Each structure stands twice: as C-alpha cells, then as structure tokens.
C-alpha cells in the first residue's frame, strides 16, 4: 500500500536513528535504576528544566499534534483555549499552591496522597479508575499511531503497533520513569525542529500573521471574539470556557492527573518541584505555534481541506508532503513517531507506579522487599503494554478519538479535582467527605452524560458544562458529608493541608529562582497573548 509520503533511504536512517537512540537511553539508564525510588520516581533527583519540559511534553502526545492542527484548520485560533485558559492558570496554581503539599507529603503517587489525606477507600477508587483509564488512553495512542503510519507511509497497522509497543516497552522496562522523562524532553525538541519549518514557511509565504489571517475566514484569527454567545466552533459561551474548560477541566488535568503530576515528583527539591509546572507554562503558551498555527497555514494553503475527500486530520501531513523533501520528511515523521511513543511511555510508567504502589502494595502484597516491587513494576509494564495493544483495536470503533478521551477524562478526573481542592485547602474536610465527593462526582458525571435531557451544540460544549456541574455537585456533597463526620486532627494533617503547613519562603533567592516571580511573569505573558489575539 502506498502512503502520502515518498520515503527514501535517508528518511529511514533518521527514523532508525531515533529508535537506536531511545534504546540506548534505556540501556544507559539501567544502571541508574536500582531501587524502587529510582524506577518509579527517578530517584527524586532531576533538575527543574528536565521535569518542566517533561511536564508539558507528556501531554504533547499522539492526539495533540495531529488533533490540534486539525482543530486549527477546522475552527481556527479558538482552539487555543485548550492551551491558554485551559492550562496556564492551572499550571501556575499547581506550582505555587498545591506543589508544597504534594511534595511535603512525600507521596509517591496521586492516589497515595489521597490515602494520606483521606482514607484507603478514596485511594482505592482513584487508583483503580486511573489504572483503567490510563491503559485505555495508551491503547488509543497506539491505535492512532498505527492509522497515521498506515496513511503516511503505507506501513501495516498491526506491524507498526507491535514494533513501537515493543520498543517503548524495552526502554521503559530498563530505565523506568527516567527513560520516560528523558524521551519526553527529546521528543519536545524533535517536535519543535520537525514542525517549526512549516510554521515559518507559512508565515513567510503569506506575509506574517496578518497576511495569514487574511487568507482564512476572518474570525479564525481570534481567540475570544466569538465567545459572547454560543454561536462559535466550540458551541458555547465564555462562561463555560472560563469555568468549565479553564477552571475545572484544566485544573483537574494539570493538578491531579498522575501522568503529568508524576513528573513533578521526580524533581530533586521542593523548589524544583514548584517551578516544574511554571516552567512548563512558559513553553505551553507557545505550543500553538507547532499545531494550531500549522492548521491555519494548512487552511490557507489548501482552502478545500476537510472537503473533496480530504480530512482535517491530514492538515499537518499534507503540509509536510508539500514543503518537505527527502530528509526533512524523515525528521517530520520521526517527530510524530516520537510524540506517539512518548505518550505511550508516559502512560505506561504512570500506570505501572499506580498499579505497584496503590494496588499491588496496598491490597495484594503489603510487605515485600523493594527489589520485589521493582520486579512487579516491570511485570506490570509488560502486562499493561499487552492490554494497550488490545485496547488499540477497541479504540478503532469510536468515531472521534479526541472526544472519546475527553469523555473518559471528565468522568474520572473532575471529581478527583473537587476532592483535592476540598482536601488541600479546607482542613475540616473529613475522610468520608473526600470519599463521598469523589464517588458522587463520578456517579453524577454518568447521570449527566447519559440521563439528563440537555442538548448541546457540540461534544466540547457538553464536556465543559458537564465538568463544571460535576465539580459543583462533588464539592457540595463533599462539604455536606464533612460537616456530619469527624474531622482529622492537625497532627494527622501535618505537612499535607493548607492551614496546617506553611508555604516555603524563597525570599533569600534571586528573582529568577523564585516560584512566585516566575509565576507572575508567566501570568503576564498569558494575559498579553490573550489580549493580542483576542
């Protein structure tokens, strides 16, 4: 079968070099990976620039680059909300206000924090739901990689799924979380170097930003302009975007999803952990340059994209085929392949940690040796990867992978965020208050999704509103139950809750080392960009 790209020997050399590179990284890391702390937490030894890039890059996986460039071509700059309001405030809040408790608790995972703050039952619900969700997401990543490679290169779906799964498994098996983080950082640079030429060529060709915008429908260049009413591509107004997407969904993902939170746990100090999400926010604001803006360029170059038998999902590959020659094609494919593979690696390592510490150690084998848990982690990786391969074929039966993921995500993640916010910032929240807010949130999400008769213009609109109301219900129930149950003592909450633990002070440091100053700069940048591209 013939793909969209003409791939020649030099392209294969570039792709092969990446495979060799990641396997080499895994091989070199194996001797740094001895204890459970090494394997599951990178020995809590990484500098902030690495964890910061990885924090952002763990999410720049398969669905993002192709999906968001498709979104850019289909809807325009309005998609940027997923990166700006949907991420930046959450990352800053995480770094300044949540990280100190996460870090001071010395929890090894998000479910473990819930155990420390609330009780075993709360941990159990979160651990099981996260483990299931992560394997599903990982399978989706595998599947979407398979279909992309098939369309672009004519590779067999089954062969590319199996080969990349084996390579990913090999390097995370050897190096654990560090392998995953190192390849995420590499992937970030590869994505920039592999895709930025398209952005630059597009902007030069059309005469800068204003030139580009004049070649596409006039409202495609704006982020906020159409949000006064629900008559826009998102199908909803500013309230759902600010509170549903920005406050609830963004915060839920960036502050409680263990896939990204695990990166902060690998940081080598409290300060490094605090600046991790703040560094990430500086990069995050510019990510639209390698996907959404590329989508706008694609729309300007191919005005009939999305019609005449072409798919928006091909926005990025079509541009590559047009502007890249042999050589650059190889680099572009490697960037995409790398983003698929790191997405999978991140999911698998997060799954492994939760399985080993929060399910296996908590319920199956409480008192094994450290060496045994590392062994169990490696076994869980292998089993998780096999489950992902099965899931890959299940994912194929859903029409839109992105919507499917968001649906899943809002069922599990939003209630956890409600629980976290109560637990971290209101010390009166009781163990069963936390548990009931988590469970009632998940149940209400299902009721809202399947049973309530509301009609929404787009799946996005439904997800935003659902997230907001799930948060309201979960918070209300958490408060109500807390008022009727017995609170924990200050002694039990020492170090993990606001009001019991003081925030660390960095007054003795230079400004560029202080989380507070960095957060202000990031916030200013975020506000400025929203105004410029209103």
Partner 1 sequence: MNDSEKPAMLDLRRLLGIIFTFYGLLLGIYGLVTAHQPRAISFNLNLWWGILMLIVGILFLVFSIKPPRTWDPDDDEHI
Residues in contact with partner 1, shown as a per-residue x/- string from 281 to 300 under the rule CB under 8 A: --------------------
The interface region with partner 1, picked from 133-141, 222-230, 306-314, 317-325 by CB under 8 A, is 317-325
| 3-state SS record for 450-498 | HHCCCCCCCHHHHHHHHHHHHHHHHHHHHHHHHHHCCCCCHHHHCCCCE
Rounded Cα distance, 502 and 185, in Å: 33
Instruction: Describe the chain by its helix, strand, coil percentages, rounded to 5.
Output: 75, 0, 20
304 binds partner 1 (CB under 8 A): no
Residues in contact with partner 1, shown as a per-residue x/- string from 183 to 212 under the rule CB under 8 A: --xx--x---x---x---x-----------
Rounded Cα distance, 143 and 404, in Å: 13
45 binds partner 1 (CB under 8 A): yes
371 binds partner 1 (CB under 8 A): no
Among 426, 506, 517, 533, binds partner 1 (CB under 8 A): 506
The separation between CA 216 and the C-alpha centre of its own chain, rounded to angstroms, equals: 30
Q: Which is nearer to partner 1, 126 or 186 (CB)?
A: 186
**What pairs with residue 267 in β-bridges?**
46
Q: The dihedral of CA 35, 37, 40, 46: what is its sign?
A: negative
User: Nearest to residue 350, comparing CAs of 186, 187, 129, 185?
Assistant: 129
Among 46, 94, 314, 318, binds partner 1 (CB under 8 A): 46
Among 16, 47, 307, 527, binds partner 1 (CB under 8 A): 47
Residues in contact with partner 1, shown as a per-residue x/- string from 234 to 273 under the rule CB under 8 A: ----------------------------------xxxxx-
The interface region with partner 1, picked from 126-134, 146-154, 468-476, 505-513 by CB under 8 A, is 505-513
303 binds partner 1 (CB under 8 A): no
| 3-state SS record for 385-447 | HHHHHHHHHHHCCCCCHHHHHHHHHHHHHHHHHHHHHHHHHCCCCCHHHHHHHHHHHHHHHHH
Size of the site for partner 1 (CB under 8 A): 46
Rounded Cα distance, 450 and 265, in Å: 36
Least spacing, CB of residue 301 vs partner 1, in Å: 9
Q: Which two tokens stand for residue 513?
A: 């080392």
b (16+ CB within 10 A) / e for 377-392: bbebbeebbebbbebb
Least spacing, CB of residue 427 vs partner 1, in Å: 18
The interface region with partner 1, picked from 45-53, 142-150, 348-356, 410-418 by CB under 8 A, is 45-53
Least spacing, CB of residue 519 vs partner 1, in Å: 17
**What pairs with residue 46 in β-bridges?**
267
Q: Which is nearer to partner 1, 367 or 502 (CB)?
A: 502
Q: Which two tokens stand for residue 480?
A: 């109500």
153 binds partner 1 (CB under 8 A): no
Q: Which residues sit at the interface with partner 1, rule CB under 8 A?
A: 10, 13-14, 17-18, 21, 25, 28-29, 31-32, 37, 43, 45-47, 50, 178, 182, 185-186, 189, 193, 197, 201, 268-272, 322-328, 331, 502, 504-509, 513
């Amino acid at each position: 079968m013939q793909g969209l790209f003409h791939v020649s020997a030099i392209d294969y050399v570039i792709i092969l070099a990446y495979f060799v590179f990641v396997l080499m990284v895994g091989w070199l890391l194996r001797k740094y990976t001895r204890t459970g702390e090494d394997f599951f937490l990178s020995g809590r030894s990484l500098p902030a620039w690495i964890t910061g890039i990885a924090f952002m890059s763990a999410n720049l996986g398969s669905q993002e680059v192709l999906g968001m460039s498709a979104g850019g071509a289909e809807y325009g700059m309005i998609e940027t909300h997923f990166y700006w309001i949907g991420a930046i405030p959450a990352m800053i809040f995480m770094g300044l206000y949540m990280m100190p408790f996460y870090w001071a608790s010395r929890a090894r995972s998000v479910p473990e924090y819930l155990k420390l703050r609330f009780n075993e039952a709360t941990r159990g619900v979160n651990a099981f739901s996260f483990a299931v969700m992560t394997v599903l997401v990982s399978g989706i990543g595998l599947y979407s990689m398979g279909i992309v490679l098939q369309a672009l290169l004519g590779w067999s779906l089954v062969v590319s799924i199996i080969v990349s799964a084996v390579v990913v498994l090999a390097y995370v098996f050897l190096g654990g979380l560090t392998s995953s983080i190192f390849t995420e950082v590499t992937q970030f640079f590869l994505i920039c170097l592999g895709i930025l030429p398209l952005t630059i060529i597009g902007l030069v060709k059309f005469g800068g930003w204003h030139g580009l915008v004049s070649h596409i429908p006039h409202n495609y260049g704006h982020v906020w302009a159409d949000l006064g009413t629900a008559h826009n591509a998102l199908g909803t107004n500013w309230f759902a975007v600010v509170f549903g997407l920005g406050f609830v969904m963004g915060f839920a993902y960036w502050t409680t999803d263990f896939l990204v939170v695990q990166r902060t746990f690998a940081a080598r100090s409290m300060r490094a952990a605090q600046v991790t999400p703040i560094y990430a926010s500086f990069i995050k604001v510019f990510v639209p340059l390698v996907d959404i803006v590329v989508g706008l360029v694609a729309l300007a170059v191919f005005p009939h994209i999305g019609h005449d038998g072409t798919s928006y999902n091909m926005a990025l590959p079509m541009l590559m085929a047009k502007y890249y020659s042999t050589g650059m094609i190889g680099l572009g494919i490697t960037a995409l392949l790398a983003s698929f593979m790191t997405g999978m690696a991140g999911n698998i390592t997060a799954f492994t940690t939760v399985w080993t510490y929060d399910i296996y150690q908590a319920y199956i084998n409480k008192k094994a040796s450290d060496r045994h848990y590392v062994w169990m982690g490696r076994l869980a990786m292998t089993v998780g990867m096999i489950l992902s391969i099965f899931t890959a074929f299940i994912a194929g039966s859903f029409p839109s992978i992105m919507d499917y993921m968001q649906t899943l995500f809002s069922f599990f993640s939003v209630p956890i965020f409600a629980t976290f916010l109560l637990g971290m910032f209101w010390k009166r929240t009781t163990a069963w208050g936390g548990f009931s807010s988590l469970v009632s949130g998940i149940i209400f999400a299902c009721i809202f999704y399947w049973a309530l008769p509301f009609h929404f213009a787009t799946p996005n609109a439904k997800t935003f509103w659902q997230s907001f109301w799930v948060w309201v219900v979960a918070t209300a129930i958490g408060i109500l139950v807390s008022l009727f149950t017995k609170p924990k003592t200050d002694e039990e909450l020492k170090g993990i809750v606001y009001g019991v633990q003081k925030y660390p002070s960095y007054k003795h440091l230079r400004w560029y080392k202080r989380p507070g100053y960095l957060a202000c700069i990031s916030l200013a940048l975020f506000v400025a960009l929203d105004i410029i591209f209103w």
